[in-house]
Amino acid sequence: MLPTRLRCHACDATASLEERKRCVCGEPLWFETHSEEFEWPDRRDPGMWRYADLLPVDPPSGVGAAAGGTPLVRSPRLDVGGARLFVKDEGENPTGSFKDRGSAVGVAYAVAAGRERIGTVSHGNMAMSTAATAAGSGLRCTVCVPADIPEERLKNVARYGPEIVRIEGDYGRLYEESLALEGIEFVNSDTPLRVAGQKTVALEICEAFAPGTPEAIVLPVSSGGQLSAIRKALHELRTAGLIDRPPRLYAVQAAACDPIVRAFEAGDERVSPIDAGETIAYSIANADPPSGTRALAALRETGGGAVSVPDEETRAARRRLAREGGFAIESSSAVAYAGLERLVERDEIESNERVVLIATGSGFKERTEEAVESRTIALEELASIE
Ligand SMILES: *Cc1c(COP(=O)(O)O)cnc(C)c1O
Ligand SMILES: [Zn+2]
């Protein structure tokens, strides 16, 4: 029997996955895990599946089995203010973002539970990831997108052959309503299955530093799903006695859409929806984040913080990540590096601290804005090139 018991992070109520994905109190639920006996595994499953003991399901067949296990790269040329930087390169996942970790658990679960279809409300990385992972396991996939989206934006998703459904009406409401649908297992950004998979990034980071921990983890945040997943993993590792002091967690958002940063600064416990502006960091532009409360709790529990950055700083960060690190990272990820620069300036991160930057998504899907700088020479001149 598959585990389905969920617990609320806020009021401690329980429910089952078939019953509901959000608690009666309105907060998202996550899987209950028993990690008291957990130890760093010696199993050799690829990627994130070495942590199968903490996951609700075994690996799926196909590409989902290849999610996770991404490199953690010490990148001294990217150090800021004496803090020592490690890049967790989630762009190395099968479809180029950390979403593959959650899709893998969602798809594996849907197959094991005898579902024929999985669904998602996204037209970006999550849609691409869900469609690809479903394809690898022979599961049908339904991707719900806004009716007016340009076809160009869907090409990366369409290549994996999902059913694409254009929805007229309030796309925000669709997120909630899809979760209550019967028949299709919707694995949206902060649902229990997705969060279960996405917590493995923090397990990998902590295992790499074991028996210590890095002092800080900095990441871009939108729905708050990934930050909640990291919080969950840190709880589990504490229960297992594998970490003493959790790393401080820092959320970075684009200044044009930063509801979590505003709530953090105001000392609020809940995030209020905002009127968002345009930003190049479109993968993280959720103006009404469904996991906002969990995300705020993660920042406060660990003594971390939140910061927003304007697009000019994101562009400069993206360029520095490429030119001084060799990383092609999408704008929505590069915000985290711009945020780190601000955190160092504000003395929230100190010299010599070890900081992990989660590079959530690959830049290869994004059309580059950089102009090509080049010169032309005659073949005969090649020998005397300087
Ligand atoms: C989805 C996504 C995020 C934000 O993750 P949330 O779980 O919604 O907070 C950040 N970066 C990239 C590249 C993403 O695709
Ligand atoms: Zn609750």
Chain-centre distance of CA 185, in angstroms?
Answer: 20
> Which ligand sits nearest to residue 14's alpha carbon?
2
pLDDT at 176 over 80: no
- Closest ligand 1 atom to Cα of 198: 7
Ligand 1 within 6 A of CB of 284: yes
Residue 8 Cα, ligand 2 centroid: separation in angstroms? 5
pLDDT at 280 over 90: yes
Residue 126 burial (CB count, 10 A): 26
286 pLDDT tier (thresholds 50, 70, 90): very high
- Closest ligand 1 atom to Cα of 219: 10
Residue 380 Cα, ligand 1 centroid: separation in angstroms? 50
Write down the pLDDT at residue 169. Answer: 81
Q: Choose which residue among 222, 249, 291, 365 to substitute to test ligand 1 binding: the one with the highest number of ligand atoms within 8 A of its C-beta.
A: 222
Q: Choose which residue among 219, 223, 299 to substitute to test ligand 1 binding: the one with the highest number of ligand atoms within 8 A of its C-beta.
A: 223
3-state secondary structure of 159: coil
Classify 224 in phi/psi space as left (phi over 0), alpha (psi -120 to 50) or beta.
left
| Digit-coded pLDDT (tens) for 27-48 | 999 999 999 999 999 888 889 9
Alpha helices in 21-122 (DSSP H): 99-112
Got the DSSP string for 217-243?
Answer: EEEE-SSSHHHHHHHHHHHHHHHTTS-
Q: Choose which residue among 153, 188, 191, 284 to substitute to test ligand 1 binding: the one with the highest number of ligand atoms within 8 A of its C-beta.
A: 284
What backbone torsions phi and psi does residue 379 show, to the nearest 5 degrees?
-55, -35
Show the tokens assigned to 174.
Answer: 């669709």
Write down the pLDDT at residue 173. Answer: 77
Alpha helices in the chain (DSSP H): 99-112, 125-137, 155-158, 171-179, 192-198, 200-209, 225-239, 259-266, 292-301, 311-325, 331-345
Mean residue pLDDT of the chain comes to: 95
Integer-rounded Cα Rg, in Å, for the chain is 21
Tell me what percent of the residues of the chain surpass a pLDDT of 70. Answer: 100
Residue 6 Cα, ligand 2 centroid: separation in angstroms? 10
Distance CA 66, CA 26 (A): 34
Ligand 1 within 6 A of CB of 360: yes
| Digit-coded pLDDT (tens) for 138-155 | 999 999 998 888 888 899
Tell me what percent of the residues of the chain surpass a pLDDT of 90. Answer: 86
In the predicted model, what is the mean pLDDT of residues 93-120?
Answer: 96
Record the pTM. 0.96
Residue 56 Cα, ligand 1 centroid: separation in angstroms? 22
| Digit-coded pLDDT (tens) for 305-364 | 999 999 999 999 999 999 999 999 999 999 999 999 999 999 999 999 999 999 999 999
Ligand 1 within 6 A of CB of 311: no
Distance CA 207, CA 216 (A): 15
pLDDT at 183 over 80: no
- Closest ligand 1 atom to Cα of 220: 10
pLDDT at 128 over 90: yes
What backbone torsions phi and psi does residue 312 show, to the nearest 5 degrees?
-60, -40
- Closest ligand 1 atom to Cα of 361: 13
pLDDT at 91 over 90: yes
The closest residue, in CA terms, to atom 13 on ligand 1 is 361
Comparing 96-100, 189-193, 300-304, the range with the smallest average pLDDT is: 189-193
Write down the pLDDT at residue 185. Answer: 87
CB contact at 8 A, 199 and 299: no
Ligand 1 within 6 A of CB of 156: no
- Closest ligand 1 atom to Cα of 291: 9
Which domains are present in the chain?
A: 66-96+195-359 (3.40.50.1100), 98-190 (3.40.50.1100)
pLDDT at 172 over 80: no
